[in-house]
Structure 1
Amino acid sequence: MLGVVVVPEGKQGAKGADLEATPRPIECWRRIEKQNDKGTVDLAPVCTIAHTRHALQSYGMSSLQGFHQVVAMPQDQVKFTMSPLQGAVVVPQDQLKCTMSPFQYVDQAVAVPQDQLKSTVSPLQGFDQVVAVSQDQINASLDARFSLDPSSLKFSATIDDGETMTGIMTPPTVNLLVQYEPFQCFFSLHFVSGSFTYYTIKVVGGKPVAIPHTVPIDGWTLAFTVNLGLNVLDNVPPEIKAKILVPGSYSVSQLLMDFTTADLMSFDPELSKTPGIEVPLGKDPERDDKIGSFIRIYLEQLELSTDHNILGYAVTVPDPSVANPIAPSFPPTSVQFQTMAYQGDLPKKVLPGGLDCFLFLEMTQNRTAPHTVIDWEWNWVQPPSSPPGPREGGCMVLAKSVFWDAFFVGRATFLNRMALDMLNRVGWAIDNQYSTIGDDDLPWSLTDSDPPDSALAWTSAATSTTQTWDWNCTTSSDDPFRPYTHKSDTQVTVELDTENNAINFSANTHVWRENHIIIEAGSQAEDDVCTIDATVQWGFVFTLTSVAKGALGVSVAASYSPPKTSVTMKKDSNYGHFEVQSDSELSANAKAHLDCVMGKLDLVDDVANAFKNHSQFVFPGGGTFFMKDPAFNDAGDVVVGLTYQQE
């Protein structure tokens, strides 16, 4: 196909490079202009640009890309009245010499393999989550399901006048690539053996006589086009639409429901294969009409049945709320469907189309879907490897705005409470250097009352992947004999580290103490002053590790720096209140005590339990898929590999 880009009058100046501009969603995938009586195409707009279909769109990408109109026509049907020479001399390409630098006014260019490029653009393109399942994964699951029940592979359809079609089949298959139609796919029935009998009327001796015809259907494939576009679904009965658009339902049963709903299917004789018949499909109207009748009867039986029967097999789609053992943290509230072609060279032993995907595009929290279709941004599955890759059968991608912004950040304030507890613990250790401070229920001592949960909210967002929280207090006493000033502060940072597939938490705990002992000696007062400054830096690294029954697993590793302490003394008297230790001895003692306190704390266990209780994330589809290898992509979305469980 040749793409013809049409720019209306007043919009001249389009360039070929503009065709690769930022893509946008497309509502209409084809517009064909009517040919005139001379066999050429009427193009009323002023400026036209020819471009190959590959540059215009790889399947799944928007074809308009900022232009007002695109006309797609077979290249051999496009005629140009402009000479291709335009005053130039035609020279074979291998004899051309170009003096233009490949840098094209760029000072330096670096070529990087595509698989090594990093992009912070989310493949979700505004959707909250996408579940992608490959064609190979769907067909393998269909094969496993139907192979377990031989009765499901029997086909039978009867017309009222006794004409019948019966057969034995192999499991059905799907083909997800329908060029230029992202909402359509093909569903095929494959016959091992069988036949159909129909009658034609022939006049014999002036009387109509029914002539029987029996046609074997061994090796036949009957193909159907399935249309799952929202414009089609809006026109089906509400009770059927409700069974198809089920957010969070990804089972093979759900796919069968989607692919075999009569209102969405149409028999496709061009894609069907009927070996053994003398007259091809499309050449025998009476016979073809009978085949169409059998198909219509079969589809009507599907539609009218109490349960949704496919190939005589009752399909009951499990309720997602029952199928998932643990309720998802953010259950999807709307869904729409699309297919997406795999881009790139297929590896060996991978059949064409095997890595094309069926996409469930979903929103959460009753948010409105941003588009009706998404463009190609990456391959939702990756080729087989050794060991198997995380996205070999499909994947679920959850938006950063859902996992990080809406879920984790709001619940991660428990880390700020832990930072306050640590600050209180360090304060106790400094103020009571000769006591053992390790109890879980250590009394709060920094201020009159423990700060409420409302004080734990993040105080600033340095970037979209970093949150910070600060807390400080100052207490003092004007006691005439033992005045003091105590300052305590902590700074907390939590960061999404996509490079290392982790969430980093770090805290800086700092206490400063100035204690006085004032002794009246005659007309003068002697002041002994001891100043202690201590800092403890600590934190955790949370790494995504696994998914069990939909629940995200996280490993926790603690980081702890030895405390930094300094102690200074000023002695105006000889009464010996701080007489036993020098500055260095006091500092060493404070450090040793803090090390002892920290060594007795099981910080990893504490934070792991807190994380599980406060921030355990659960994905939808836990009862349908095996999930593995959770990871962050460069945009901060969570990506989880999927394979179907056997239903």
Structure 2
Amino acid sequence: MSANQSNLGNPQYGYDLVVATTQESINATMKEYLYNTVFTPVKMYWNQDNDGNPVPVSYDDLMQQTNGTDPLTVHSWNSSDPMTPEIQNINNSNFYFAFEAAIGIPSEMDPSQIPDIVTLQVNSNSVVFSLLCAQFTVVTCNFGRHGLLSLLNVSQPENAPWMFTSTVALKDIFDNENLPPDVQKELNNLGPNAFSVQQLLFDLDNAALESVPVISGIEPGTPAYNALSQVFTGAYFEAMKKTAQPVLNYSILPNNPNDYDPSTFTLTDLALEVSPYVDPTTKKQDVPDLNTLNYLGAINDNSLPASVQFSWNWIDQSEEADFNGVVSIRSDNFIEWIRSQFSLSLNSITFKPNCKCWDENWIELYYQISFDPDASPQSYSVINPRTTDSGGFTQVLNFNYSQYSGQDGGSPWYGVWGNLSCTYTSASTIAIKGNQIKVNTSVNAFVHVNVEGGVTEGNFASYASEVIYTLSVNQYGNLVANVSPPNVTDNSENPDISGWSKFTSLGTVNDVIDAERSYLQGILTDFMDGFDNSISGVANSPQKFVFPGGNTFTFKDVVFSDYQDLVSHITYVQPTGEYAQKLAQFNKIVIEE
């Protein structure tokens, strides 16, 4: 996949994470969301002042003026028709115009004919945003010298919505200092819904206030078009811009979060950019559906670098039917998470040897090795620069530990003397490739034994272990590790005891070495088993890694990129129900319950 080229650690980029979704998937999911959601209608009314200018009026005040007549419920009228009581009430008031609208998709519209909601503009890093309404009614009055000449009440067709289209600069989405605090809070959402189409729709709705929308779906110059131009794109938009209120008072309806764990990484800053899909062969940008909207994220209050175009595609044409986009975590961030989690197991292989050598009554010499746990904090170190082994694994973390103990016993003056020392070392490296993490660990005890001049030394106990963790991701973005059985190698040496050693020690060195080797091999095997079990437990512990966007996306796979970024394909959580049934109906597809 193209995301194999993800290299967020390149100084040219430097983002902590990127979520990239295609234009095609955004539109498909947003259409479903709009179709399946019932939004509260917005009603607004205007009176005419003494100079003929529109002024907003509350519903209650207008009802007092019109004797309880709501103009939105009054049919179209002109002066050639008899004046009904409702028209008379309006004529006796200061009412000028009104509208009622709710965003969404008309219930009778063929789902396959719903136009795109967003079009990503690569060159200007902007979005062409079309606001669609499930219902829209506009009422306007036309006055002459002698009063009301006509009243126009017109609604959009049930199968063909009017559209109000604006071009939104993505930088404007986060430029919201003039908005009310409650709107700022929703716009600045960096929580579980930061990447949702609900949030994007809200962001575009509010940023669209920066420009007056263009009306389409209705013939220019018609009375209805003129009414919309005056009421909605004129008076209403200007009023909303002055008070910095969201379009049609839209608010976010979050998904049910019950099944989702919070992400391991908490966003602290976010920006948006558009990336073009570039055909690898022709180098042309001629597949707009594969252009991506990229969320550029920062965590831990890190600074967010400026938006820069990526040198790779996030989604290939071959992946278009299967995936909506990609989540990529910068390698440094995930490797740091591995370091912090796996380091918790290192105390399983950190021990201080305790060597004792003593005599009793200058007659017999005794030797003993024991180990005391070293509970001091231990940690892997990040490897820079990274190296790749013959198997294609790139080493990213390593750990080295060493402790020494030695003691002399007896005295040559009494003919009973010797010494014992032990250097204990442990080491571990972590490497990654594809969807695997490889942990290589070794423990070693180098022992020196002197029994009355009979000396031998060597790696009395030495073991190496290799464990491979194969990663997958569940639908909610939780990383899961399948652990292979440890592959343990016994590298213990059988030290060669020279004839001189045997002669000078009268053969007792054999007994000492055999006893120490047996003890060391048993205890170092326990150390190794403890480490392997501990680190396997960490890999699938409740503190497991969770991708961001778990209640917005379904996660499909996971892999390390060529530059060790952690990458997963994603699809939007698909709305179900009436939209799917309607789409099947129009396409003559039978859906089984």
User: Which TM-score band applies after superposition, normalised by the shorter structure?
Assistant: 0.5 to 0.7
1:571 matched to which residue of 2? Answer: 502
1:130 matched to which residue of 2? Answer: 18
Paired with 2:151 and 2:525, the residues of 1 have a C-alpha distance of 98
Deviations along 1:19-38, one digit per CA (max 9) or x if unpaired, are: xxxxxxxxxxxxxxxxxxxx
2:344 matched to which residue of 1? Answer: 414
Deviations along 1:326-375, one digit per CA (max 9) or x if unpaired, are: 333320111222233332289xxxx963333222222111122211x221
Q: Is the 8 A contact 1:200 1:211 kept in 2?
A: yes
Structure 2 unaligned blocks of 5 or more: 47-94, 358-367, 387-394, 411-415, 576-593
1:332 matched to which residue of 2? Answer: 267
SS of alignment partner, residue 409 of structure 2: coil
Q: Is the 8 A contact 1:168 1:194 kept in 2?
A: no
2:55 matched to which residue of 1? Answer: none
Deviations along 1:548-607, one digit per CA (max 9) or x if unpaired, are: 6443222333332233322222202585535689x9xx69x9699669957994765432
Paired with 2:505 and 2:177, the residues of 1 have a C-alpha distance of 96
2:459 matched to which residue of 1? Answer: 533
User: Counterpart amino acid of 1:224?
Assistant: T
Q: Is the 8 A contact 1:398 1:637 kept in 2?
A: yes
1:209, distance to aligned residue in structure 2 (A): 3.6
Compare the two structures and name the one with the higher helix fraction.
2
1:143 matched to which residue of 2? Answer: 31
C-alpha root-mean-square deviation of aligned residues, in Å?
4.7
2:106 matched to which residue of 1? Answer: 168
2:52 matched to which residue of 1? Answer: none
Alignment of 1:83-94 (within 5 A): none
Paired with 2:302 and 2:436, the residues of 1 have a C-alpha distance of 28
1:52 matched to which residue of 2? Answer: none
Per the alignment, do residues 611 and 117 of structure 1 end up closer, same or farther by CA in structure 2, a change over 3 Å counting? closer
Paired with 2:237 and 2:534, the residues of 1 have a C-alpha distance of 59
1:236 matched to which residue of 2? Answer: 178
Per the alignment, do residues 302 and 202 of structure 1 end up closer, same or farther by CA in structure 2, a change over 3 Å counting? closer
Q: Is the 8 A contact 1:396 1:641 kept in 2?
A: yes
SS of alignment partner, residue 315 of structure 1: coil
SS of alignment partner, residue 289 of structure 2: coil
Paired with 2:45 and 2:287, the residues of 1 have a C-alpha distance of 36
1:626, distance to aligned residue in structure 2 (A): 1.9
Per the alignment, do residues 619 and 487 of structure 1 end up closer, same or farther by CA in structure 2, a change over 3 Å counting? same
1:451 matched to which residue of 2? Answer: 374
Alignment of 1:89-100 (within 5 A): none
User: Counterpart amino acid of 1:467?
Assistant: L
Per the alignment, do residues 353 and 459 of structure 1 end up closer, same or farther by CA in structure 2, a change over 3 Å counting? closer
Per the alignment, do residues 132 and 157 of structure 1 end up closer, same or farther by CA in structure 2, a change over 3 Å counting? farther
2:483 matched to which residue of 1? Answer: 556
1:394, distance to aligned residue in structure 2 (A): 1.6
TM-score by length of 2: 0.66
Paired with 2:436 and 2:222, the residues of 1 have a C-alpha distance of 64
Q: Is the 8 A contact 1:154 1:168 kept in 2?
A: no
Structure 1 unaligned blocks of 5 or more: 1-113, 432-442, 519-526
1:198, distance to aligned residue in structure 2 (A): 4.4
1:609, distance to aligned residue in structure 2 (A): 0.8
1:154, distance to aligned residue in structure 2 (A): 7.5
Paired with 2:396 and 2:441, the residues of 1 have a C-alpha distance of 13
Per the alignment, do residues 599 and 460 of structure 1 end up closer, same or farther by CA in structure 2, a change over 3 Å counting? closer
2:590 matched to which residue of 1? Answer: none
Paired with 1:368 and 1:401, the residues of 2 have a C-alpha distance of 15
Deviations along 1:107-161, one digit per CA (max 9) or x if unpaired, are: xxxxxxx969957565881221122222333333333333334x44979776653
Q: Is the 8 A contact 1:135 1:176 kept in 2?
A: yes
Paired with 1:345 and 1:200, the residues of 2 have a C-alpha distance of 59
Q: Is the 8 A contact 1:174 1:187 kept in 2?
A: yes
1:395, distance to aligned residue in structure 2 (A): 1.9
Paired with 1:531 and 1:631, the residues of 2 have a C-alpha distance of 46
Per the alignment, do residues 640 and 510 of structure 1 end up closer, same or farther by CA in structure 2, a change over 3 Å counting? same
Paired with 2:122 and 2:396, the residues of 1 have a C-alpha distance of 43
Q: Which moved more, 1:233-242 or 1:630-639?
A: 233-242
Matched, 1:619 2:547: yes
Q: How many residues align?
A: 479
Identity over aligned residues, as a percent? 15
1:100 matched to which residue of 2? Answer: none
Per the alignment, do residues 238 and 131 of structure 1 end up closer, same or farther by CA in structure 2, a change over 3 Å counting? farther
Per the alignment, do residues 458 and 568 of structure 1 end up closer, same or farther by CA in structure 2, a change over 3 Å counting? same
Matched, 1:225 2:163: no
TM-score by length of 1: 0.61
Per the alignment, do residues 155 and 289 of structure 1 end up closer, same or farther by CA in structure 2, a change over 3 Å counting? same
1:404, distance to aligned residue in structure 2 (A): 1.5
User: Counterpart amino acid of 1:246?
Assistant: N
1:109 matched to which residue of 2? Answer: none
Per the alignment, do residues 359 and 294 of structure 1 end up closer, same or farther by CA in structure 2, a change over 3 Å counting? farther
1:379, distance to aligned residue in structure 2 (A): 2.1
Per the alignment, do residues 613 and 130 of structure 1 end up closer, same or farther by CA in structure 2, a change over 3 Å counting? same
Q: Which moved more, 1:181-190 or 1:636-645?
A: 181-190
2:434 matched to which residue of 1? Answer: 500
